[in-house]
Structure 1
Amino acid sequence: MCKKMPISNHEKIPYYKTNNVLWKWTLCDGTDGCQIVPDVNLSSDKTPPALRNQSPPLSVPREHRNKKEVGDGLLTILEATARFKKWLDTPNPPKHLTAAQAENPETIPLFDIQEIPSAMRKNFMFKSAMLMEKWFAGELNYSSTDSDEAAGINQDGKPYPPSMYDTTTIKLDWVLNFRRAKDQYDALVNAAIRNPGAMQQLALTLSRYKRSRAELDTWEISGKSLANLHKHFQFQRVGVESTLSQKISQFIASNMTNRGTPDDLTGALGSFNFYAAIAYAEFNGDVTAARLKGIYVYVRDNYTFTDKPGEASQYLGHWSRKGIVIVPYSAGASILNQPWLPYVDYPVAVGDRRVSGNVYYPIKNSSFRQWAMRHKRGGDFIVYSDYRFVPIYPPMTVYL
Structure 2
Amino acid sequence: MSDEEKIPYFRVNKLLWRWTRYEGADGCTVVREGQLSMDKAPPPLPKQQELKMTSIRLAPELPRPDPLIKFVDDIEKISDAFSRFKSWLNTPRSPKEHQPVPDAGRKQEQIVPPFDIQEIPGAMRKELMPVSAKLMERWFAGELNYGPTDKDVAAEMNQKGMPYPADMYDTTTIKLDWVLKHRRAKDQYDELIKTQIHTSRAREALKEILLPYAGRPCLDATTECGENLSTLLHRHFQFQYVKVGSSLSQKLGELLYADFHNNGVPDDLTGALGSFDIYAAVGYADFRREGTTRVAEISAIYVYIKDSYDFTDKHGEVSQYLGHWSRNGVIVLAYNGAMSYLNKPQLYFSYPVALGNPKVKGNVYYPIHNKDFREWAIKHQRGGDFVIYSDRRLVRIDPPIKVYL
Same fold per TM (> 0.5)?
yes
Alignment of 1:184-263 (within 5 A): 184-212=188-216, 214-224=217-227, 225-263=229-267
Q: Does 1:385 align with 2:379?
A: no
**CA offsets, 1:253-279, max 9 Å, x none?**
112332221100000000100000000
Secondary structure at 1:340 match in 2: helix
Checking the alignment, whether the CA contact within 8 Å between 2:145 and 2:385 is kept in structure 1 is yes
Counterparts of 2:161 and 2:110 in 1: how far apart (Å)? 48
Displacement of 1:15: 0.6
**4+ residue stretches of structure 1 with deviation over 3 A?**
8-11
Correspondences of 1:363-378 after superposition (within 5 Å): 363-378=368-383
- In structure 2, give the amino acid aligned to 1:276: A
Counterpart of 2:344 (choices 327, 334, 338) is: 338
Corresponding residue to 2:295 among 289, 297, 305: 289
Going from structure 1 to structure 2, the CA distance change for 1:9 and 1:304 (only over 3 Å counts) comes to: farther
State the one-letter code of the partner of 2:38: S
Runs of at least 5 residues in structure 2 that lack an aligned partner in the other structure: 49-105
TM-score (structure 1 length as normaliser):
0.83
Assess, with a 3 A threshold, how the Cα gap between structure 1 residues 296 and 103 changes in structure 2: closer, same or farther.
Answer: farther
SS in 1 for 2:313: coil
Instruction: Please say if residues 9 and 36 of structure 1, whose CA atoms lie closer than 8 Å, have aligned partners that are also in contact.
Output: no
Deviation per residue, 1:2-35 (Å, 9 max, x gap): xxxx9x9993110111112322111110000000
| Paired letter, 2:12 | T
Q: 1:341-380 deviations in whole A, cap 9, x for unaligned? A: 26x1100000111111000000000110111111111100
- Rounded to whole Å, the distance in 2 between the matches of 1:299 and 1:151 is 17
1:1-400 to structure 2, matched below 5 A, reads 11-53=5-47, 104=108, 106-212=110-216, 214-224=217-227, 225-285=229-289, 288-341=294-347, 344-400=349-405
Q: Shift in Å at residue 104 of structure 1?
A: 2.8
Which structure 1 residue ranges, 5 or more long, are not aligned? 1-5, 55-101
C-alpha distance in 2 between matches for 1:323 and 1:311: 26
Shift in CA distance, 178/284, structure 1 to aligned 2, threshold 3 Å: same
Report the alpha carbon displacement of residue 103 of structure 1 after superposing the two structures with TM: 7.3
1:9–1:37 CA contact under 8 A, matched in 2: no
Separation of aligned partners in 1, 2:116 and 2:4? 25
Structure 2 CA distance, aligned partners of 1:312 and 1:347? 18
Residues in 2 aligned to 1:27 and 1:116: alpha-carbon distance in whole angstroms: 22
Q: Give me the whole-angstrom Cα distance separating, in 2, the residues matched to 1:138 and 1:251.
A: 33
Q: Distance in 2 between matches of 1:155 and 1:176?
A: 34
SS in structure 2 of the partner of residue 284 of structure 1: strand
Query: Is 2:149–2:315's contact at 8 Å kept on the other side of the alignment?
Result: no
CA distance in 1, matches of 2:11, 2:264: 11
Q: What SS does structure 2 have at the residue aligned with 1:309?
A: coil
Q: Distance in 2 between matches of 1:145 and 1:355?
A: 39
CA distances 1:208-248 after superposition (whole Å, capped 9, x unpaired) = 21115x11000010014111100000000000011100000
What SS is found at the alignment partner of 1:121? helix
CA distance in 2 between partners of 1:305 and 1:287 (Å):
49
- Over 3 Å counting, the alpha-carbon distance change for 1:103 and 1:260 in structure 2 is farther
Deviations for 1:157-211, whole angstroms, at most 9, x for unmatched residues?
2111111000111000000000000000000011000111111000110002111
Q: Tell me the residue number matched to 1:79.
A: none
SS in 2 for 1:208: helix
Quote the sequence identity (%): 54
Scaled by the length of structure 2, the TM-score of the pair is 0.82
In the alignment of these two chains, the number of paired residues is 345
Is the Cα–Cα contact under 8 Å of residues 105 and 354 in structure 1 kept in the other structure?
Answer: no
Distance 1:126 1:249 in 2: 23
RMSD of equivalent CA atoms: 1.8
Instruction: Tell whether the 8 Å contact from 1:9 to 1:35 is kept in structure 2 after alignment.
Output: no
The Cα offsets for residues 53-94 of structure 1, whole Å up to 9 and x where unpaired, read as 59xxxxxxxxxxxxxxxxxxxxxxxxxxxxxxxxxxxxxxxx
1:287: Cα distance to partner? Answer: 6.0
Tell me the residue number matched to 2:95: none
> For the pair shown, which has the larger CA radius of gyration, 1 or 2?
2
